[in-house]
């Protein structure tokens, strides 16, 4: 038994180095920069009535932020013959937009309000936007020009939002206004769109050599299965009522105590296709390549609770340039 174990160990010592050297290993770091058109949209919404008489639904108007944003990104690829592993990350910044947003929420009597009521807001929202995305994928090149891959994607977009507008609250039993919740208000909203999930895709490349151009034109398509969430965190909300008295209002606690409606976090899932087209060109430096590309998608998230929260979506169109260098081992 001992002799057999020693034989197996000796075989491993002899064979494994031969297998390792049979593979051609390449490591390729890369850097990209460019601009992206980014759009977040929350769709207009009306719930079923929330009161016993069926008169007062929760409602929300359409909300959309969009801007062209600069971004930087990088990645690292490992190749072993026809197999590859890829890591990527990118960060977009300096985005901003504003929109008018109107909503109403049915509130049941509780700690902060004496009777069943409806709270409405009509406000302007100014948002600063930044976004970070990362992915890991595994792939196999089935021919010299066709590769299949699968991986995991994670992204987060932050909207740092200033709120300013009108707020009004009335009792549902007699429609009488509630003075301390009626007037003008200001506040901050930290809003985050987060999603993650698996994806699968394919890349097809076509070598081209025409004059001074030498490289490959590539197209890729991927199908993603994503779970998304929009977190809402209201801060520093102050109300100036009709008598000119300014008071602080814990809108975040009020929203959490109700647990539904247009002040709630949003949750949804999406199945969508992303498409890309790129040119990778050779340079006079061995191993150094440059790239020019375009990429785009639209992810439509369907609400997990369609009776209480709206659907939402994210759209991106990205234009980039980059460089990469391959180290062979």
Mean pLDDT split into 10-residue runs, the chain, 329 residues: 42 42 83 98 93 90 97 98 97 98 89 86 96 98 97 98 95 92 95 98 95 92 97 93 90 69 83 97 95 97 89 98 96
pLDDT in the model for residue 22 = 53
Distance of alpha carbon 316 from alpha carbon 130, whole angstroms: 13
DSSP 5: H
The SS3 call for residue 14 is helix
pLDDT in the model for residue 19 = 43
Distance of alpha carbon 238 from alpha carbon 313, whole angstroms: 30
Smallest Cα–Cα separation from 319: which of 12, 38, 14, 25? Answer: 38
Check: CB of residue 232 under 8 Å from CB of residue 193.
no
Antiparallel, parallel or unpaired: β 63-80 and 83-107: antiparallel
pLDDT in the model for residue 213 = 87
Look at the chain and count its residues.
329
Smallest Cα–Cα separation from 26: which of 141, 130, 116? Answer: 141
Check: CB of residue 314 under 8 Å from CB of residue 39.
yes
Distance of alpha carbon 144 from alpha carbon 184, whole angstroms: 64
Distance of alpha carbon 183 from alpha carbon 244, whole angstroms: 8
pLDDT in the model for residue 263 = 74
- What superfamily in CATH does domain 2-328 come from? OMPT-like (2.40.128.90)
Check: CB of residue 321 under 8 Å from CB of residue 32.
yes
Residue 291 half-sphere exposure toward CB, CA atoms < 13 A: 23
Smallest Cα–Cα separation from 167: which of 109, 259, 254? Answer: 254
Token pair 């976004």 in the structure block, residue: 131
């Amino acid at each position: 038994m001992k002799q057999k174990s020693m034989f197996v160990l000796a075989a491993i010592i002899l064979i494994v180095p031969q297998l390792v050297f049979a593979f051609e290993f390449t490591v390729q770091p890369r850097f990209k920069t460019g601009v992206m058109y980014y759009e977040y949209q929350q769709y207009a919404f009306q719930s079923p009535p929330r009161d016993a008489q069926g008169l007062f639904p929760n409602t929300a108007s359409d909300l959309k932020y969009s801007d062209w944003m600069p971004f930087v990104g990088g990645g690292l690829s490992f190749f072993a013959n026809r197999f590859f592993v890829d890591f990527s990350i990118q960060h977009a910044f300096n985005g901003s937009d504003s929109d008018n947003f109107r909503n109403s929420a049915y509130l049941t009597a509780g700690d902060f309000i004496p009777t069943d009521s409806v709270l409405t807001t009509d406000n302007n929202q100014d948002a600063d936007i930044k976004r970070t995305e990362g992915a890991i994928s595994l792939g196999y090149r089935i021919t010299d020009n066709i590769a299949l891959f699968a991986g995991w994607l994670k992204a987060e977009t932050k909207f740092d939002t200033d709120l300013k507008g009108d707020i009004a609250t009335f009792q549902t039993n007699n429609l009488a206004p509630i003075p301390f919740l009626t007037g003008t208000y200001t506040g901050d909203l930290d809003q985050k769109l987060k999603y993650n999930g698996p994806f699968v895709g394919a890349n097809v490349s076509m070598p081209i050599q025409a004059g001074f151009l030498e490289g490959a034109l590539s197209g890729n398509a991927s199908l993603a299965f994503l779970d998304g969430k929009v977190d809402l965190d209201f801060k520093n909300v102050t109300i100036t009522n009709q008598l000119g008295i300014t008071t602080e209002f814990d809108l975040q606690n009020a929203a959490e105590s109700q647990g539904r409606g247009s002040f709630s976090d949003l949750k949804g899932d999406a199945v969508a296709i992303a498409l890309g087209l790129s040119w990778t060109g050779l340079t006079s430096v061995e191993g150094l390549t440059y790239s020019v590309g375009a990429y785009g998608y639209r992810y439509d998230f369907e609400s997990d609770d369609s009776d209480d929260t709206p659907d939402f979506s994210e759209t991106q169109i990205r234009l980039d340039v980059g460089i990469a260098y391959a180290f062979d081992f």
